[in-house]
Structure 1
Amino acid sequence: MHIDEIYIENYGCIEKLHIKPELNEQGHPKPIVLVGKNGSGKTLLLSNIVDSIIEFKRDKYSELQEVSENKFYKIGTQTYIKVGESHSYTRVRYNNGGKKYYYIDCMTQNHTHFKNSIFNSLIHSDLEIDNEKFKENGFYKKAKPSFEKEFDTNILMYFPVHRYYEPAWLNQNIAPSFKKEDNFIEKSNKNVIKTNILNEVESWILDVILDKFLYEQHNQRFSNLFVRNEHGGYTEFTAPIFQDYSGKNTTIQNLINQIISTIYKSKDDNIENARIGISNKDRGRQISILTKFKNGSEIQVAPTFNHLSSGEALLLSIFCALLKDFDSISKNGTNNLDQVKGVAVIDEIDLNLHIDYAKNVLPQLMKLFPNVQFVVTSHSPFFLLGMKETYGNDYQLINLPTGEDIVENDFSEIVSAYRIFTKGFDELHSSLKSLEQKISVTTKPLIVTEGKTDWKHFKRALQYFQEEGEYTDIDVSFFEYEDEIEMGDSHLESLLKNMSKVEQNKKIIGIFDCDEANGKKYAGLDFKKFKNNVFAFSIPKPSYRSTHTGISVELLYKNVDIQKTDADGRRLYLTSEFNERGRLLSDINISVENTDKVKKYIEVDKNKIIDSGVTDGTNNIALSKNSYALNILNKTAPFDSVDFEGFKGVFDKLKIILDIPLT
């Protein structure tokens, strides 16, 4: 069963929307992802789908779980008619094996005007225009024909934004318990709207495991073994008995483990699978989660479901709830997840999920249920990227409020955004590992700089001064790295904070430029002292940059040295050398390609370094900052004679920090 049409006009912010859900080549419903800005009608659309399900239930059952006293789920109020219009109309059509079912919801402020001037029997199909109540009060709501066995063979579920779980730290008694669901004629014991689903799922799992142990255990014995003895006869050895389990609940437990494994294997490539466990009775019958690694070891990662992260809890609860509800209606048992069928509506499906879970896990979990039609909303570009990678073209991306299908041919911007978010964590981890290795092989204080060029300048400047007999008491090592390490302003800050969390037997000193966020923050201090012998400071301005707003390491040199030209005629440029149109003041035939680089910084006291995108009309004539630093470090002419006077402030601060006793 699946939705095969959604048509809405003049409802809330939606003027006209027509969605035609599709099936893939295997005949499975394609997932539908609804996107759009806040206020674009995503939740309004979902509310109509949910209301349609409840109205079909109302026709079948005399008592409903979703609404009190069998009131309507969605209040009929003409305030939802789009401003400037006199009516609204909604149609949701279901298809179950070729049989069609319709939900119609219509409101009008003037029935006569609607009937005579607006009503179109082709567009407003299945609307009984002359229905007496509709003529009287302007409201029409109907679900037809009646569902017969559709609720007995399909799951129809809605997961609102306020689906939640109870965390382990909450001071409430939340122990799971065995629950019995009674069935009565004309009474629905299932609620389409799923909230607090984790506790319900946990109770259900307890039932599954209990039934497995009670009814599905089989004792088997290997054939007895006869061994020839020394007297020429045979001695019989009784084979051991082993326990085996088979049956509906054993299969369900395996399917639950399949869902859990999908979640946890994404966290660590070394995880082979994950499974549920259950504690002894004296520990309160708590369900735990264990992961097994490829080396054969197994550990408990969550002593109870309530120790899961919010993201893990929501993923586990949603997808186990699908299995739970289908298991309750499946008379022949459920052997595979692809047997689960129906419709699952999920608002903000990526809620509380880390971007890796949204991108890599959520689409994989959805794909475990190919016969469930997912209708979901999302604000996450990472989830969309994961859907594209997992489903290819076998899902529908629909933009609201207009309802057009979006065909994303180029996900490069989403890919870039994902890399930006994940790259920082990976690079910090890599930097920490490299720094730990460096610390382990040096006994000297370690200097960590912002950027791969800074350490080159400081190293050469210290060599120069010591050759001149100055700063000979500074004996340090530099963390020397190239492109394999990313060490911007924020990376260096994170690195120092992480290093300060553990004991260090030598000083670790971070040096920032004073032109970015953290560098500017530390510029007002002599230095920052973290814990465990970790320090930080910003490069002080030399006297000839005293009025400058912020400087990078290159501005410790005087302009004449910054503007030195290499053997290929390339050099660094200062923004003050250009006019607002990006033309070089001394030669208008030379320009910078990106004028935004210079517009805000053409004043001398706001100078920035330009090391790319400067052209003479044919070639780039700018020298990269790294090439400039290497020329100075290697004393390549004419960079073998530069003035290092501006670096004295850096080494004066270093001396102060180095004189502080180790803690």
Structure 2
Amino acid sequence: MLKLKRLLIENSGPIEFLEIPFDYTEHNLPKPLVLVGENGSGKTTTLSFIVDSLLQLASTKFKDVLAPSDGGLGTLFYRLRSHDVRIGASSSVAHVRYDLNGRQIDYLDRIGQESNLEQLRQRLGLPPEFPMDFTKNNEKLLTQNNHQIDSELRDGAYVFFPSGRREIPHWLQVGALHPERYTNNQVFSNKVNKSLVVETAAADTANWIMDGLLDKQLGYADAGIEVANKILQVILEDSTAHFAVAPRNVWPRVQIYTGVQAVHLKVTNPRRLAIPSLGHLSAGQSMLLSMFGTLANHGTLTNRKSLQEIEGIAIIDEVEVYLHTHLQRSVLPTLIKLFPKVQFVISTHSPSFLMGMKDKFGADGFRILDMPSGAPIDVDQFSEIGAAVDALRETTAFRTQVKNEIAQENDRPILIVEGRSDALLIEGLWRSSMNDSTPFRILIAKGRRALRYLLEDEEFINEVGINQRVLGLFDFDEAFDDWSGCHRSYPNKEGDETTGLLRKHTSKQIFTGLLPLPMTRVRQAGERFGANSTFTIELYLPDEVLMAGDNLENVTFPGDFQVVKFKGDKIAFAKRISAERAFHSHFDNLLSLIRNVLQV
């Protein structure tokens, strides 16, 4: 059995240092490893080194696992190597160690000049015969004598499922689409007779199921269809679900039945057609069948075996893709549990999946590493669980409050902002400049996510009066994604960056908008920056005013690109600035946007 034992990465992408020893149970079965962390924290980078090492190993035994290089000598690398070195570092190293039936196999990818290769060899525990060339700055190296690797790869399930995987739904007429300008033909399969990188597998899965049905029809005792049926039963959560041959007018010729075949006696759960073809599975169900059907198919190509006997390594990037939270929590961990000898290395953003893993494996039955540090954490320490719970609690209470207030007066204009300091500043500016209270209600959403959830809430939309005008106002920063994410309910785009970008609801006078940008801040915010924009309401004031109050912070991004951010107490700042008329002119575009949208 080929098993991952250790992974080390230094100075690659966002990762400064990461060392992962892979864990096993007392029965020497691999424990699933789950990588979590924010976008850009190095989860996919980590997976890519494991995938590259597997493909490099396979290419030493099978000629067309990787495409030949242009010069005809050797093969192309699966993992591109440019721009890998972390900013500020001069070199990077990635080392993957495998155990192959008691023998050590090493993979090394190094970029940049190492001051002492012997020290590197000792630090990584590489044997003296492991080849390294001090005259080269860049090397990809493998243990030379890889006996038995070909049989292991043929007999086991060694697969990478990238985050871009997809399956085509039954209703899509592919010929109606404009021809794509690229090809996605799989090149990672040849004499090994299976794909090591799988983006779509519906056709191969259908063929595998058809082979199993044919074997059963011919009376083979070890027909693979029983393995396929077991996976299907977990996905559909029905212990009677099974595949059957479909009529000739159905393609692929596989249907799904549930219930029990009646022989002589009546049964309480008679057999019936549940799903007319594989193409009628939901996107999530189809994805699960393709992934875990691929593992079963690859693991039984050369020898028939049960799911519990299949060995291999499964690398899955963003495991929750296409899956409803119920599938993430209940079904996905159960499917992983079906393959105890397959080593799963997974990345995810899903709290539901992690809670399901804890339910199925127990707290000690799998590991969670928080990227990019690789610090081990428990499910309860996963930051997105707390954020999700807080967001749900706050947004539910907030939406109830807003709907109640709208129901009481559904003709008065309403402005909804992200935070209290926004509300204080706008109300103070209006009161000071107009010598009157605001002719509109100001509501506070407790954050950008809460504001977005409210604007997309059908009950909220229904409560808004026919002629009532509402503006949900976002900062022009990371909230850009929340603003643009409202496009389904708010498809009509209006305005520009300096007067205020807006989206209007399809039928109501509800608008979602971004703070208008002053010309002095267009270098750090705008549609071209998207969610990397960094403009908040305090930055309408010029730098010298902010500096005088010690409210200015300079932030440098890669490439020596500098932006300014507000620092300090936003509430105190809002109260002070709104009371000083000398600063009001800097907010003219903001107040104009509010007047125009709310018509006040």
2:201 aligned partner: 197
1:402 aligned partner: 373
Give the letter aligned to residue 201 of structure 2.
Answer: I
Which runs of structure 2 are paired with 1:300-449 in the superposition (5 Å)? 300-330=273-303, 333-334=304-305, 336-393=306-363, 394-409=365-380, 414=385, 417=388
Cα offset, 1:77, TM superposition: 3.4
With over 3 angstroms needed to count, the CA separation of the structure-2 counterparts of 1:297 and 1:125, relative to structure 1, is same
Contact in 1 for aligned 2:246/2:255 (Cα 8 Å): yes
Contact in 2 for aligned 1:165/1:306 (Cα 8 Å): no
Distance 1:358 1:273 in 2: 22
Cα offset, 1:114, TM superposition: 4.2
Contact in 1 for aligned 2:314/2:344 (Cα 8 Å): yes
2:50 aligned partner: 49
> What is the DSSP-based 3-state SS (H/G/I as helix, E as strand, rest coil) of the residue aligned with 1:53?
helix
Distance 1:41 1:14 in 2: 6
Distance 2:5 2:79 in 1: 25
Cα offset, 1:98, TM superposition: 2.8
Match of 1:166 among 150, 168, 180: 168
1:155 aligned partner: 157
Distance 1:264 1:491 in 2: 34
Distance 2:91 2:271 in 1: 61
> What is the DSSP-based 3-state SS (H/G/I as helix, E as strand, rest coil) of the residue aligned with 2:259?
strand
Distance 1:345 1:3 in 2: 11
Question: 2:289 aligned with 1:287, yes or no?
Answer: no
Deviations 1:165-224 (A, max 9, x none): 2211222489xxxxxxxxxxx9332221112211111112112212322x31xxxxxxxx
Which runs of structure 2 are paired with 1:440-589 in the superposition (5 Å)? 518-522=462-466, 524=468
Give the letter aligned to residue 255 of structure 1.
Answer: V
Task: Name whichever of 69-78 and 311-320 sits farther off.
Answer: 69-78
Deviations 1:442-464 (A, max 9, x none): xxxxxxxx78xx99xxxxxxxxx
With over 3 angstroms needed to count, the CA separation of the structure-2 counterparts of 1:203 and 1:492, relative to structure 1, is closer
1:23 aligned partner: 24
Cα offset, 1:301, TM superposition: 3.2
Contact in 1 for aligned 2:130/2:143 (Cα 8 Å): no
Cα offset, 1:128, TM superposition: 6.7
Distance 2:457 2:44 in 1: 41
Distance 1:105 1:82 in 2: 14
1:640 aligned partner: none
Contact in 1 for aligned 2:162/2:199 (Cα 8 Å): yes
Contact in 1 for aligned 2:246/2:277 (Cα 8 Å): no
Distance 2:131 2:245 in 1: 60
Give the letter aligned to residue 342 of structure 1.
Answer: G
Give the letter aligned to residue 155 of structure 1.
Answer: A
With over 3 angstroms needed to count, the CA separation of the structure-2 counterparts of 1:7 and 1:127, relative to structure 1, is farther
Distance 2:340 2:169 in 1: 31
Which runs of structure 2 are paired with 1:641-656 in the superposition (5 Å)? none
Give the letter aligned to residue 225 of structure 2.
Answer: Q
Deviations 1:615-657 (A, max 9, x none): xxxxxxxxxxxxxxxxxxxxxxxxxxxxxxxxxxxxxxxxxxx
Give the letter aligned to residue 58 of structure 1.
Answer: S
Contact in 1 for aligned 2:58/2:65 (Cα 8 Å): no
Cα offset, 1:364, TM superposition: 0.8
> What is the DSSP-based 3-state SS (H/G/I as helix, E as strand, rest coil) of the residue aligned with 1:43?
helix
Match of 1:274 among 226, 241, 252: 241
Distance 1:199 1:300 in 2: 22
Distance 1:521 1:28 in 2: 61
TM-score (norm 2): 0.59
Cα offset, 1:280, TM superposition: 2.5
Give the letter aligned to residue 67 of structure 1.
Answer: A
> Structure 2: which 5+ runs fail to align?
177-189, 261-266, 397-402, 409-452, 470-507, 509-573, 575-600
Cα offset, 1:524, TM superposition: 2.6
Cα offset, 1:415, TM superposition: 8.6
Distance 1:78 1:412 in 2: 32
2:596 aligned partner: none
Give the letter aligned to residue 158 of structure 1.
Answer: F
Contact in 1 for aligned 2:13/2:86 (Cα 8 Å): yes
Over aligned residues, Cα RMSD in angstroms? 4.1
Distance 1:292 1:75 in 2: 47
Cα offset, 1:136, TM superposition: 3.6
Distance 1:383 1:356 in 2: 9
> What is the DSSP-based 3-state SS (H/G/I as helix, E as strand, rest coil) of the residue aligned with 1:122?
helix
Give the letter aligned to residue 89 of structure 1.
Answer: V
With over 3 angstroms needed to count, the CA separation of the structure-2 counterparts of 1:290 and 1:73, relative to structure 1, is farther
Contact in 1 for aligned 2:312/2:343 (Cα 8 Å): yes
1:179 aligned partner: none
Match of 1:253 among 225, 246, 251: 225
> What is the DSSP-based 3-state SS (H/G/I as helix, E as strand, rest coil) of the residue aligned with 1:191?
coil
Which runs of structure 2 are paired with 1:126-145 in the superposition (5 Å)? 126=127, 131-132=132-133, 135-145=135-145
Aligned residues: 402
Distance 1:320 1:191 in 2: 13
With over 3 angstroms needed to count, the CA separation of the structure-2 counterparts of 1:415 and 1:304, relative to structure 1, is farther
> What is the DSSP-based 3-state SS (H/G/I as helix, E as strand, rest coil) of the residue aligned with 2:357?
helix
Give the letter aligned to residue 241 of structure 2.
Answer: A
Cα offset, 1:248, TM superposition: 1.8
> What is the DSSP-based 3-state SS (H/G/I as helix, E as strand, rest coil) of the residue aligned with 2:355?
helix
With over 3 angstroms needed to count, the CA separation of the structure-2 counterparts of 1:520 and 1:204, relative to structure 1, is same
Distance 2:251 2:123 in 1: 61
Question: 2:102 aligned with 1:98, yes or no?
Answer: yes
Match of 1:83 among 84, 87, 93: 87
Larger Rg: 1
Contact in 2 for aligned 1:278/1:285 (Cα 8 Å): no
Contact in 1 for aligned 2:351/2:382 (Cα 8 Å): no
Cα offset, 1:9, TM superposition: 0.8
Which runs of structure 2 are paired with 1:193-272 in the superposition (5 Å)? 193-213=197-217, 215-216=218-219, 246-249=220-223, 252-265=224-237, 271-272=238-239
Distance 2:8 2:298 in 1: 28
Distance 1:60 1:493 in 2: 56
Give the letter aligned to residue 285 of structure 2.
Answer: E
Contact in 1 for aligned 2:202/2:290 (Cα 8 Å): yes
